[in-house]
Amino acid sequence: MTYRDALRFLYGLQIFGIKLGLRNITSVLREINNPNHHFKIIHIAGTNGKGSTAALVESVLRSAGYKTGLFTSPHLFDFTERIRVAGKPIPRRQVSSGIALLKPYIERYRCTFFEATTALAFQIFQKEGVDVAIIEVGMGGRLDATNVVTSMCSIITDIDNDHTEYLGEKLKSIAREKAAVIKEKSTVVTSATQPEVKEVLRAACMKRGATLYATGEHCTLDIREISSEGSRITLQTPFRVHTDLQVPLLGRHQVRNAAAAVLAIDVLNSNGVAVSEGNVRQGIAGTTWPGRLQVLQKRPLFLVDGAHNPGGMHALKDALQEFFTYKNLILVFGVMSNKSYTEMLRAIVPMAHHVLLTRPNMERALNCRVLAEEVSLLTSRFEVIPSVSQAVRRAFTIADPGDVVCAAGSLFLVGDILKSRMKRVDELFGLN
């Protein structure tokens, strides 16, 4: 099986859509002797910040000398980004050989794309002998395919309204779905701030005899500097003090993600997973997480951000207002059809001098005509350019050197832009 064959097979599984439940993944993993039982696991759920927090934790553990696995979704540039070992996307040959091995079981149990990808990640992590794997929940938590794991520590990041057709309309119901990753007598770290969310998490921990640490209650955070270059913070957890940590990821929301990551690391350190303060410092400073408030060029400033729900869009709006000085904002916007795009547009469009509506190269992307109807209620300064590359080129014909061009609305939109600017996945993570 070639890499192209493997991807064709995997993407062909999308005909099964999204099927929440653990029966399929449990059956497939049993067929291959439960590879997820052979390494330690940190499980990360939430609406926004899961991937960034996972990347921060992974970088710290790798700096401490552990062989790490990292499973996240979606990818920006190439499928191999979803499964990383020791900080590097897996080679394509591991995708093809892994899927060749798993194919009979995937077909037997009629697995979805995400179930098959989860099984592939666990199989590769066992084969590679990772010490610890950082696993990002795909959607929700209770019935997500990743919830077959038994974790050392669960991290629950900010929770917002997203995937409401599967997780429920109310914040409490969404929080209950995500709180289901909490295991008996485990340790949980959260950066969530809403009182109703924390109430759900406390109840879940009490029911399961788990210990809950909340960054807003158990940490003292001092932001010493924050700018468009990153942040410098001092963080006191219940275990130790970390002075002058350099956080390269941009935005106040990334400071909160860094606090959750460091608190989780300190919890692990207190439970025998040795990580020094120097490892924490080095790992946080060395974290890369492309496509999130990423600056691609300076004049005019070109930003891409994967904000794809109202919470993410408000974080982007806050960052644009606080950290960047510019004359006009030229917005390139594309979104998936199942997202809360009306609220997203209301957050960001009033800031923009000109809006370019486009369509990411995904079947689920929202038709530009629908977007135009929504945007016309907010501004008359917009154009519809379905091609992402053409929309970006048009943005640069409009922008002056002192302006900002910002592409947002979907990680798939960001991925399309990065693909047009890079030749290899290694470039994305600065590995070449």
CATH number at residue 173: 3.40.1190.10
Q: Tell me, what's the pLDDT at 355?
A: 98
Same-domain status, 245 and 300: no
Whether 34 contacts 254, CB under 8 Å = no
Same-domain status, 268 and 392: no
Q: Tell me, what's the pLDDT at 162?
A: 54
Name beta bridge partners: 302.
Answer: 297, 405
Examine the pLDDT at 366 and tell me if it is beyond 50: yes
C-alpha dist (Å) from residue 7 to 12, 75, 96, 99: 8, 13, 8, 9
DSSP reduced 3-state for 405: strand
Examine the pLDDT at 370 and tell me if it is beyond 90: yes
Tell me what percent of the residues of the chain surpass a pLDDT of 70: 97
User: Alpha-carbon distance 135 to 58, whole Å?
Assistant: 10
Whether 408 contacts 304, CB under 8 Å = yes
Same-domain status, 128 and 266: yes
Q: How confident is the model at residue 169 (pLDDT cuts 50, 70, 90)?
A: low
Same-domain status, 315 and 390: yes
User: Alpha-carbon distance 427 to 423, whole Å?
Assistant: 7
Q: How confident is the model at residue 14 (pLDDT cuts 50, 70, 90)?
A: confident
**Average pLDDT in the chain:** 93
Same-domain status, 319 and 416: yes
DSSP reduced 3-state for 29: helix
Q: For the packed helices 3-12 and 92-108, what is the interaxial angle rounded to 10 degrees?
A: 40
Q: Tell me, what's the pLDDT at 165?
A: 52
Whether 69 contacts 134, CB under 8 Å = yes
Q: Tell me, what's the pLDDT at 21?
A: 77
Domain of residue 87 covers 3-285
Q: Tell me, what's the pLDDT at 246?
A: 98
Same-domain status, 300 and 417: yes
Same-domain status, 272 and 301: no
Q: Which of 285, 317, 350 is the last residue of a domain?
A: 285
Residue type, 408: A
Which has more confidence, 272 or 430?
Answer: 272
Same-domain status, 117 and 250: yes
Mean pLDDT of 113-121: 96
Tokens, residue 16: 């099964």
Residue type, 166: Y
Name beta bridge partners: 329.
Answer: 404
Examine the pLDDT at 279 and tell me if it is beyond 80: yes
Q: Tell me, what's the pLDDT at 428?
A: 82
Q: Tell me, what's the pLDDT at 430?
A: 79
Whether 209 contacts 184, CB under 8 Å = yes
Q: Tell me, what's the pLDDT at 421?
A: 87
Q: What is the CATH number of the domain that holds 311?
A: 3.90.190.20
Give the sign of the dihedral formed by CA 162, CA 158, CA 50, CA 256: positive
pTM exceeds 0.85 for this model: yes
Q: Which of 264, 285, 306 is the last residue of a domain?
A: 285
Q: Tell me, what's the pLDDT at 163?
A: 46
Q: Tell me, what's the pLDDT at 17?
A: 64
pLDDT digits (tens, 9 = 90+) for 61-94: 999 999 999 999 999 999 999 999 999 999 999 9
- Residue 46's contacts (CB-CB under 8 Å, 6 or more residues apart) are 53, 137, 155, 156, 157, 158, 159, 178, 191, 192
Same-domain status, 278 and 341: no
Taking only Cα atoms into account, the Rg of the chain, rounded to an integer number of angstroms, comes to 21
pLDDT digits (tens, 9 = 90+) for 383-404: 999 999 999 999 999 999 999 9
Q: How confident is the model at residue 18 (pLDDT cuts 50, 70, 90)?
A: low
DSSP reduced 3-state for 291: coil
Between vectors from CA 107 to CA 361 and to CA 16, what angle results, nearest 5°?
40
C-alpha dist (Å) from residue 267 to 49, 155, 261, 277: 19, 11, 10, 13
Same-domain status, 320 and 278: no
- Residue 311's contacts (CB-CB under 8 Å, 6 or more residues apart) are 47, 48, 158, 160, 161, 162
Q: How many domains does the chain have?
A: 2
pLDDT digits (tens, 9 = 90+) for 230-243: 999 999 999 999 99
In degrees to the nearest 10, what's the CA dihedral of 91, 97, 103, 105? Answer: -100
Q: Which of 285, 317, 341 is the last residue of a domain?
A: 285
Examine the pLDDT at 166 and tell me if it is beyond 60: no
Task: Supply the DSSP string of 333-363, one letter for each residue.
Answer: E--BTTS-HHHHHHHHGGG-SEEEE---SST
Q: How many residues belong to the chain?
A: 432
User: Alpha-carbon distance 210 to 207, whole Å?
Assistant: 8
Same-domain status, 301 and 272: no
Same-domain status, 274 and 155: yes
Mean pLDDT of 285-293: 95
pLDDT digits (tens, 9 = 90+) for 94-108: 999 999 999 999 999
Whether 420 contacts 389, CB under 8 Å = yes
Q: H/E element holding 427?
A: helix 425-428
User: Alpha-carbon distance 261 to 153, whole Å?
Assistant: 11
